[in-house]
Amino acid sequence: MLANTLSDQEFSQFRSFIYRIAGINLSSAKKPMVVGRLARRVDQHRLSSFAEYFRLLNNGSHPDEVQMAVDLLTTNETYFFREHKHFDFLRENILPQHPPGKSFRVWSAASSSGQEAYSIAMVLDDRLKSPHWEITASDISARVLETARRAHYPLEQAEHIPPRFLSSYCLKGVGSQQGTFLIARNLRERVNFMQVNLNTSLPRLGTFDVIFLRNVMIYFDAETKRQVTRRIAGQLKPGGHLLLGHSESLNGIDSTLQTVVPSVYRKPL
C-alpha cells in the first residue's frame, strides 16, 4: 500500500495537471485533498508513488484514467436549492418578465450531480405552466453526470426542497428503495446532461435566457475567469441573466455584463 505522502514537487505537478485541463487553481491547502482522492488510484494501479501515477496520466495511453483523475480532483459539493435567493430571483424577477408561450432556456453550467438543474426545473415547471422550457446541464466530471442522469438521491438530500415541490416532483422510494427519492419523469425528460469543459472552446449549445455558473469561479485565477466569462457571456441572449455564487463577483473581470444585484448580472439588450 502507498504511504500517504505527497511531496511538494509532486503536488505542484498535479496542480499544473488540473489547471491545464480544467483551469482550476488548487491552493496549497488542497494538498491533503489531493492525497485523499488520488491515493486509492495509485494503489489500484499497484504503483509505489504519486510520481509514478503522474507519469501514467501523462504517457498518453490511459485517457480513462485521466478522466478519473479529473473527476476526483474537481469539487462537486452541492445540494437542492443551494443559495435559495437565486431561485427566488428566478421565480420573482426573471420569469414574470418572460413572454407567455415563448421558449425559455436555462444552462446549469457547473451542474455537478444534478441537484441545481432539478431545482431549476421545479421552479420553471411550477411558474411557467408551459411546455416551452428546457435545461441544459453540464459538468467536466463524467462521474457526477452519471449520478445526475439517474436522478436518484438519498432521502436526506430532500431537506432543502420546499414541501410542495417535494410532493409534486419527487417520488419517495419504497421497499428496497426505502430511504431514497427519484425526481419525477416529467422533469427528468426536460433536462439534458452533457460533459462540457468550461476551460476550452464550448460546443454548440445555442443561447440561453439564464445561465447558472455558481461556486466554480472561486477555483479559477483572474485570467481563467476572464476567458470563462467571455465564453459564457457569448451564450447569453441579449437581456439574459448570469447567476454566480453568492461569494463570487465579476469585479475587474468583465465590464460588458451589468450588475443587477450582487452575484446576478444581465447582458445588455
- Any idea which residues carry the catalytic annotation? 37, 139
Amino acid symbol at 61: S
Task: For residues 8 and 16, give the distance between their C-alpha atoms in angstroms, rounded to a whole number.
Answer: 12
Angle separating helix axes 50-57 and 8-22, nearest 10 degrees: 30
Q: Which three cell numbers stand for residue 248?
A: 463570487
Instruction: Identify the DSSP state of 8.
Output: H
Q: Nearest 10 degrees: CA dihedral of 106, 110, 116, 118? A: 60
Three-state DSSP state, 139: strand
Percent of the chain as helix, strand, coil, to the nearest 5: 45, 20, 35
Helix (H, G, I), strand (E, B) or coil at 245: coil
Compute the distance between CA of residue 107 and CA of residue 111 in angstroms, rounded to an integer: 9
How far are the Cα atoms of 58, 77, 165, 180 from residue 31, in angstroms, in the given order?
Answer: 20, 18, 40, 34
**Parallel, antiparallel or unpaired: strands 208-213 and 191-195:** unpaired
